[in-house]
Amino acid sequence: MKIYQCLDDYEFQENAVVTVGTFDGVHMGHQMIFHRMKEIAEAVSGPTVVVTFHPHPRLVVHSDNRDLKFINTREKKYDRIAAAWIDSLIIINFTPEFSRLSSEEFVKQVLVDKIGLRHLVVGYDHHFGKNREGGYKSLKTLAGKYNFSIQEVPAKYIHNIAVSSTQIRNALRLGEVALANELLGYEYSITGKVMRGKRIGHEIGFPTANIEMEDEYKLITAVGVYACRINYKGDMYNGMGNIGYRPTVDDGNFTIEVNIFNFDREIYGEYLTIYFLERIRDEIKFRDLKTLRKQLVRDRKKVVRLLG
């Protein structure tokens, strides 16, 4: 997949099969859109083009909103789109000026004139343009005016839930990572640098890698203890992670840490990717380290059974 960080770098191509969106999560619904694009592209011998934006439009339109968090980092999102065998990804710089384009101006000036739109594929809840005025009905009108076809991909339902980034974010905020993973079609993960901690885990036989997140907009799943898989330099390990405030041993600082099974290497300053599979319990304050250790032994047994 070719990535274009600027619209002007993209060379106009005839017969382009295009979709537009922020694609937070690149979830099962998005994957249905990409699959349909590839089917059309094969039939018409045209390129597949995904158009997305940076910064996220809501960070520009609602610049005072500091609560907005995303399922994936930019890099992970682009990797997921590339894994769908899309030909080109165009990243449009979303500015206050750009946000004032009407949906028709965006379609004509960007998609038709700059990219070569001939076939547009959108999701069932797609809206764009100033004040999100551009929906499927108005796009059908524009399709006739500017000579392109449009197809709307229906919702993907899992457990009677229409898959969407909002549903996935809600599940993660509740710690329902198993559900979030089903809606995503892959395992929710975080990547961060291993930092030196207080080494209390070493003292009780459960050493942990403390993870520092570098992306302030990355959505972290709910506080609790989780069954995890850990990728370290391409090797996969099982383990259990804790997200929260370590009330038994700490002073209320938020931490992300993981105990990696059968692993005893010093990896400070290196990067891990933690995949979250299931939340096994709430974070609990224990009366002492001995009681905490007993619970960790039980937690580990449960995680081993879950992961096999």
DSSP of 99-166: HT--HHHIIIIIIIIII-EEEEEEETT--BSGGG-B-HHHHHHHHHHHT-EEEEEPPPEETTEE--HH
Together in a domain, 149 and 250? no
Residue 268, domain member (yes or no): yes
Q: At 291, which CATH number?
A: 2.40.30.30
Residue 250, domain member (yes or no): yes
Position 99, amino acid: S
- CA dist 72 and 24 (Å) reads 6
Give the domain-ending residue among 154, 175, 197: 154
Together in a domain, 209 and 295? yes
| pLDDT at site 68 | 86
When divided into structural domains, the chain yields a total of 2
SS3 helix, strand, coil % of the chain, rounded to 5?
Answer: 35, 30, 35
- Give, for all 308 residues of the chain, the pLDDT tens digit: 999 999 999 999 999 999 999 999 999 999 999 999 999 999 999 999 999 999 999 889 877 666 789 999 999 999 999 999 999 999 999 999 999 999 999 999 999 999 999 999 999 988 776 666 668 889 999 999 999 999 999 999 999 999 999 999 999 999 999 999 999 999 999 999 999 888 888 889 899 999 999 898 999 999 999 999 999 999 999 999 999 998 888 767 899 999 999 999 999 999 999 999 999 999 999 999 999 999 999 999 999 999 98
Together in a domain, 209 and 131? no
Residue 168, domain member (yes or no): no
Task: Map tokens 């739109």 to a residue.
Answer: 117
Domain membership of residue 255 as a residue range: 187-307
Together in a domain, 119 and 12? yes
Together in a domain, 199 and 250? yes
Using alpha carbons only, give the angle 195, 202, 255 rounded to the nearest 5 degrees.
40
Give the domain-ending residue among 131, 154, 177: 154
Together in a domain, 63 and 115? yes
Together in a domain, 144 and 229? no
Q: Which residues contact 46 (CB under 8 A, 6 or more apart)?
A: 13, 14, 15, 16, 17, 40, 118, 119
Together in a domain, 229 and 134? no
- CA dist 130 and 99 (Å) reads 6
- CA dist 259 and 195 (Å) reads 14
| pLDDT at site 203 | 85
Q: Model's pTM, two decimal places?
A: 0.93
